Amino acid sequence: MKNPKQTKDKQRIYNSREWRLLRDQKRRANPLCELCLANGKVVPTQAIHHKIPIETAQSFDEMMRLAFRWDNLQSLCYKCHSEIHQAMKSHTKEGHQKAADAALQRWISRHK
């Protein structure tokens, strides 16, 4: 669920010195995309991803915990990162709703 406060909280975290330090630390610990590496490809890390999206937090404290939890971080290349987010999007309620709407529209156009 997107709300303005959450967007602001997220920006506050991503703009913080602590997050930048942690992000750099993770990049140094895993300088290669973890997913590509699992497939035997060597691609430099270009994004630090949160396995549990910090947007799922119900409060700022929880968001902070998700953002700064080391085992919630994943080093990814741009390609894997955008793929993972595309896949996540299709699993959200919104994604399901869109698929359901499309199915309904198809049904209606077939039965006109």
Binding part of the chain for Zn ion, among 7-15, 17-25, 33-41, 58-66 by CB under 5 A, reads 33-41
Give the angle 35-49-30 at the CA atoms, nearest 5°: 55
CA-CA distance, 103 to 110, in Å (whole number)?
11
**Exactly one of 49, 54, 57, 75 binds Zn ion (CB under 5 A); which one?**
49
Residue 57 makes contact with Zn ion by CB under 5 A:
no
CA-CA distance, 72 to 54, in Å (whole number)?
10
Residue 10 makes contact with Zn ion by CB under 5 A:
no
Residue 33 makes contact with Zn ion by CB under 5 A:
yes
Residue 36 makes contact with Zn ion by CB under 5 A:
yes
Backbone angles phi, psi at 44, to 5 degrees: -65, 150
The three-class DSSP label of residue 52 is: coil
Residue 54 makes contact with Zn ion by CB under 5 A:
no
CA-CA distance, 65 to 71, in Å (whole number)?
11
| 36 vs 67 by CB, closer to Zn ion | 36
What's the closest the beta carbon of residue 57 comes to Zn ion, in angstroms? Answer: 14
Give the footprint of Zn ion on this chain (CB under 5 A).
33, 35-36, 43, 49, 77, 80
